[in-house]
Amino acid sequence: MSSLIQDNRPEAVLALADGTLFRGRSIGAPGRTIAEVVFNTSMTGYQEILTDPSYTGQIVNLTYPHIGNVGVNNEDTESGRIYAVGLVIETLSPIVSNFRAKETLSEYLTRSGVVGIAEVDNRLLTQIIRDRGAQAACILTAANGTLTDEELNAAVEAAKSYTGMVGQDLAQVVTTKAPYEWTEGTWQIDNDTGATSYTKPELPFHIVAYDFGVKQNILRLLVNQGLRVTVLPAKTSFEDAMKYSPDGFFFSNGPGDPEPCTYAIETAKKILKSGIPFFGICLGHQILGLAVGGKTVKMKTGHHGANHPVIDVKTKHVYITSQNHGFAVDASTLPANVRVTHESLFDGTLQGMELTDAPAFSFQGHPEASPGPQDISPLFERFGQMVRTYAESKAAR
């Protein structure tokens, strides 16, 4: 697909609650969105970022200055739709050129009813977020092509009305309504034909994955480990999950504040007592932290990017990782049976932990990448091994 993008778009504005205005052009649906705006420093992967359910309730400001050049395809989605509630970019690529592209980024946003703004000084916006933290913001598109003073004022007022992310349980909003099976592994492209094929490994072991807003590449990488995955709604009780006789529990990433997810925290406590292997990613990691009695905190800017160095505190091995979180587990609140395994080399925050008295571990960043480096994907192998060991010991009993 290769097509020129027209540039007769309506004006749009991104307003901050303090009255700062970033004027630009609408590249998505007409309308208005109110949310916190965070920046993501990934150089690639806008489609994966937009479709990551963890971005529910957030406007994403992509710092890479040129976005949209490869369009939008059928494969690079992390869920069934766009979850970010707004997109901010500097320059929209005037052409789309990629053999997989099915539509332009702008068409995708518009079709999805998502507001987007381009041609803003998003470097300045990023500096504001860096200095003051994630900001309450409103994106508003001009109703008649050109922004009026009333519209600019209304955008600032709307930004002021934002009530914040703290206390919001968004996992229960995005979770699956009903359980389902996932049996598809990672995919490859045939270099000659361009066709996509999915890995279909043998699946001798069975786990349940709690869906708090799960990214599909996580499910694919679990399947690659030979794990048949039953995905469960966030509020499934431990007792109901046990009806599946799982050999492992996985807790997914997800949007919002982990603290109000009390149902999941209670489930995690029961899992830890059961002796069945547990692996949590991002929100799942934070829920583990709360289940063992630790506390979570809202970070200033959070971590959103694909080049975050994380150190394994035992081996001193450094991994470049994909990250997307605005809350963090406060390591100083963790009890003695928790060992810190990984730390961020950007700010020292907790990135990974394991229990010394249960087969449970978790990671704050995104070992599934999508987008980003795959340095730390061996965490999936670690979980696969734990599940195999557990299942074999169960069979021998």
Ligand X SMILES: NC(=O)CC[C@H](N)C(=O)O
CB of 395 to ligand X, least distance (A): 33
Cα–Cα distance, 242 to 271 (Å, whole number)? 10
CB of 382 to ligand X, least distance (A): 19
Size of the site for ligand X (CB under 6 A): 11
Residue with tokens 């970070």: 299
Ranges of H-type helices in the chain? 46-51, 105-111, 122-132, 149-160, 171-174, 216-224, 238-242, 262-274, 283-291, 378-396
- 24 labelled binding-site residue: no
- 217: contact with ligand X by CB under 6 A: no
- 138: contact with ligand X by CB under 6 A: no
CB of 176 to ligand X, least distance (A): 16
Query: Near ligand X by CB under 6 A, which window of 150-158, 241-249, 254-262, 369-377?
Result: 254-262
- 324: contact with ligand X by CB under 6 A: yes
- 324 labelled binding-site residue: yes
- 283 labelled binding-site residue: yes
- 255: contact with ligand X by CB under 6 A: yes
Q: Which of 205, 327, 361, 380 binds ligand X (CB under 6 A)?
A: 327
Cβ-based burial of 30 (10 A; exposed 0-12, middle 13-18, buried ≥19): middle
Cβ neighbours of residue 317 closer than 8 Å, sequence gap 6 or more: 311
- 325: contact with ligand X by CB under 6 A: yes
- 286 labelled binding-site residue: yes
Nearer to ligand X, 248 or 367 (CB): 367
Sign of CA dihedral 262, 265, 270, 276: positive
- 256: contact with ligand X by CB under 6 A: yes
CB of 253 to ligand X, least distance (A): 3
Query: Near ligand X by CB under 6 A, which window of 172-180, 195-203, 220-228, 318-326?
Result: 318-326
- 253: contact with ligand X by CB under 6 A: yes
Q: What is the bridge-based pairing of β-strands 350-355 and 338-344?
A: antiparallel
- 282: contact with ligand X by CB under 6 A: yes
Tell me which residues in 37-56 interact with ligand X (CB under 6 A).
54
CB 352 within 8 A of CB 324: no
Longest dimension (CA), the chain: 74
CB of 89 to ligand X, least distance (A): 21
Q: Which of 116, 246, 289, 326 binds ligand X (CB under 6 A)?
A: 326
CB 321 within 8 A of CB 41: no
Q: Is 6 helix (H, G, I), strand (E, B) or coil?
A: coil
- 350 labelled binding-site residue: no
Residue with tokens 């990551």: 52
| Residues linked to residue 281 through DSSP beta bridges, in sequence order | 363
Query: CA separation (Å) from 53 to 62, 114, 171, 263, 348?
Result: 17, 14, 9, 19, 26
Query: Near ligand X by CB under 6 A, which window of 22-30, 92-100, 236-244, 324-332?
Result: 324-332
Nearer to ligand X, 228 or 325 (CB): 325
Q: CA 280 from chain center: how many Å? A: 13
CB of 175 to ligand X, least distance (A): 13
The residue whose Cβ lies closest to ligand X is 282
Query: Near ligand X by CB under 6 A, which window of 70-78, 199-207, 234-242, 253-261?
Result: 253-261
**Residue 247, token pair as written in the block:** 């050999």
| Residues involved in catalysis | 282, 366, 368
- Burial readout 296-322 (b: 16 or more C-beta within 10 A, e: otherwise): bebbebbbbbbebebbeeeeeeebbbb
Q: Is 250 helix (H, G, I), strand (E, B) or coil?
A: strand
Nearer to ligand X, 39 or 327 (CB): 327
HSE at residue 305, side-chain half, CA atoms within 13 A, is: 15
Query: Near ligand X by CB under 6 A, which window of 131-139, 148-156, 191-199, 321-329?
Result: 321-329
What residues form the annotated binding site for L-glutamine? 54, 254, 256, 283, 286, 324, 326-327
What residues form the annotated binding site? 54, 254, 256, 283, 286, 324, 326-327
Q: Please give the residue ranges that form the binding site for ligand X (CB under 6 A).
A: 54, 253-256, 282-283, 324-327
